[in-house]
Amino acid sequence: MRIASLNNSINDNSHLKRRLTLPQLKKYDITQKVIEALADAESRAILFSIIKKGKTAFEISDKCKIPLSSVYKKLADLEHLTLIEVEKWLISDKGRKFKIYRSRISKADISIKKSEPSLILVPN
């Protein structure tokens, strides 16, 4: 999986009457969002913990020592960016459903050339 910066669609502002601000550009730049997620220590810890084997949110929280509410928020963000996936669902003896999360990437390389970040994600 390779994600490169969205130069042609984001930086081609000729159709706009005014220039976009940096926060507006960030809103549309998936590369920037992925880099920000990878820069976050908790998100990285979550990703690293589910590369080899899928885990439930509770297992991730316990292993990484991150509050469960934070784990759910980070998992939602990572799932939205398609960096993780729900590998399968488990049903407990009491009938509760649990998602097993797994990282979709095993490696991320970030480089900056000509002030534009480049991101290469290696599938898991």
The mean pLDDT values, 10 residues at a time, for the chain of 124 residues are 38 46 62 90 96 96 97 96 94 93 94 81 91
Q: Please, how many CA atoms are within 13 Å of residue 86, restricted to the half-sphere of its CB?
A: 10
105: number of Cβ within 10 Å:
19
What was the pLDDT predicted at 47?
96
> How many C-beta atoms surround the C-beta of residue 100 within 10 A?
17
pLDDT of residue 64: 97
**Residue 87 near residue 102, CB atoms below 8 Å:** yes
Alpha-carbon span 40 to 46, nearest angstrom: 10
Q: Give the number of residues written for the chain.
A: 124
Whether 74 contacts 43, CB under 8 Å: yes
What pLDDT, on the 0 to 100 scale, is given for residue 24? 55
Q: What are φ and ψ of residue 98, in 5° steps?
A: -130, 135
Predicted local confidence at residue 26, as pLDDT: 55
Global model pTM greater than 0.85: no
Residue with token string 């999360």? 101
pLDDT of residue 56: 97
